[in-house]
Amino acid sequence: MSDPTTIRRLYGRRHGHALRAGQAALLERRLPELNVTADGPLTAERMFGDDRPLGLEIGFGRGEHLAAQAAARPDMGFIGCEPFLDGVVGLLGHIEARGLANVRIHMGDALDVLDRLPDASLDAAWLLHPDPWPKARHAKRRFMNKGPIDLLAARMRGGAEFRFGTDHPVYCRWACMVMGLQPHFRWLAERPADFLHRPDDWPETRYEAKARRIGHEVWYFRYVRAG
């Protein structure tokens, strides 16, 4: 099976419904100033003007989790990767409403950002409710594969935390298998409550809320980068 770092594709279609006039205006006004730089290394100094801690959210959905994290940690810089236009507009709305100045956006594949981040530059990373790609032939598109996780590990400093959440049992089992073979991360769970209950500093996403409404169980995984 090919790995996502080889096929360079973690997502399907990029566009949903047509944007309303206000959304289109917000996108045109704010996205150019918040886009990550087009080339070169993605350092904190280049993106935020100082040497601050960095966090990365891989597929931020509509942006509610990323915005909450950024509001709670104004001295930290956050990079959000999301290929879907509706999601980018959602995050821009949160940024505008909260007056956030510590978020940068890449409307595309997270692998592109990971390629450009320096080694040991990330202090935190999140992968929350990604598309499970449940069919066997689509498993190669999951971020949870050896190639992307190896790349993420290289970009995280020792002691940095990686959080993964899902309500899909197939993806849950797959992630446990992939991370169980990973020498660079240590699972922080010591008892079932540690992965069955959302930590207080883990804001709920709309995807998680939807999963709860339809009766799905949700699992919360926390890993620390060894070394």
Contact (Cβ atoms closer than 8 angstroms) between residue 34 and residue 105: yes
Instruction: Report DSSP letters for 183-225, one per residue.
Output: SSEEE--SSTHHHHS--TTSPPPHHHHHHHHTT---EEEEEEE
Q: Is 194 a catalytic residue?
A: no
User: What b/e string do you get for 180-198 counting C-beta neighbours within 10 Å, with b at 16 or more?
Assistant: eebebbeeeeeeeeebeee
Q: Of the listed 3, 86, 115, 131, which one is catalytic? A: 131
Residues involved in catalysis = 131
